[in-house]
Structure 1
């Protein structure tokens, strides 16, 4: 077994969550195809270069897109992350450079591409809500120059009641503090120097926020995720969720 492929333990958890009612001609083995999908994102190679041992060349890509449309990758992450019942969650973001293939766009295209030119060039920003161990609960994408606070408010829609939220100064807004409080939680964020009103902040607790940095480091070990080559943002997000599912299983 190659190092990027699913182990027996991983497959035992993922297999029951996959569609199990194929119609017509029997499809290529699911585990074999998912290993092909993982190979592509682990190496950052184009879909046409996926080795034949994972089935016909087009099968991994077609299966990936079809299951993305059906919400399979979303359900995988939701299923494995639903087991978390801890008190601490964290939000943050990280930029991924956009490859020239991912930036290609037709003149009349109307699809939201979730990338833009920022200080680092063409980038996509990955926003994450993770638990106390750095395991992802929810992921979202925006253009690279987008602010963190607006996306942070969207991530809070997945915040369970009574949680302690850790975030850096980029999320230091009254709206995020108020929304966290409405959910019975506490936002532990370092105050900005321009803030006139004193807010509660625990530096010892804030030190645990390095777990979300570790999450981004683990995700970006996959070359196809460290650099975005997919033009469609939903394809890139689906790949992130597949990688995030493995992080949960192996935690």
Structure 2
């Protein structure tokens, strides 16, 4: 099955790390934003270089009509629950959505690295390079 999972979590102080993983939960692409920036910024950055995928699983933070339309245009099926502010509920495959735990496990493995979880580095470039080093080790383990 060709597939990608997309997820979002907060790592460290006032920083959001957006990640795309493969079906095994190994990180493929990363994007870091400031904590006060909308999740849609990370989604747009990751969508530009997203490889061909059959399914994309994402959390409520990525629920936007333009994001769903982009996925349809790319030919990717989506499994994104509707946000709480939506007036009309959106149906999604709950059994498939449970597979999103793989990306959460990847973020948990990333937080095992003390330098990443506590964010010692104040410079975003240095912090992202520490994340990249941790992700490289996680990818091959």
Q: Normalising by the residue count of structure 1, what TM-score does the alignment of the two structures yield?
A: 0.52
Instruction: Give the RMSD, CA atoms, in angstroms.
Output: 1.7
1:196-229: CA deviation from partner (whole Å, max 9, x where unpaired) = 3x64511110000011110111011011000111
In structure 2, the CA distance between the partners of 1:209 and 1:176, relative to structure 1 (3 Å rule), is same
Structure 1 unaligned residues grouped into runs of 5+: 1-85, 99-122
Structure 2 unaligned residues grouped into runs of 5+: none
Matched, 1:137 2:28: yes
Q: 2:4 — aligned with what?
A: 89
Larger radius of gyration: 1
Report the Cα offset of residue 149 of structure 1.
2.1
**Contact 2:61–2:83, Cα closer than 8 Å, also in 1:** no
Report the Cα offset of residue 150 of structure 1.
2.2
Q: 2:94 — aligned with what?
A: 203
Would you identify which runs of 4 or more consecutive aligned residues in structure 1 move more than 6 Å?
none
Report the Cα offset of residue 189 of structure 1.
0.8
What pairs up with 1:157-236 in 2 under 5 angstroms? Answer: 157-192=48-83, 194-196=86-88, 199-236=90-127
Q: Whose strand fraction is larger, Structure 1's or Structure 2's?
A: 2
How many correspondences in the alignment? Answer: 140
**Contact 2:12–2:116, Cα closer than 8 Å, also in 1:** no
Q: Normalising by the residue count of structure 2, what TM-score does the alignment of the two structures yield?
A: 0.89
Matched, 1:126 2:17: yes
**Contact 1:177–1:186, Cα closer than 8 Å, also in 2:** no
Report the Cα offset of residue 142 of structure 1.
0.8
1:28-79: CA deviation from partner (whole Å, max 9, x where unpaired) = xxxxxxxxxxxxxxxxxxxxxxxxxxxxxxxxxxxxxxxxxxxxxxxxxxxx
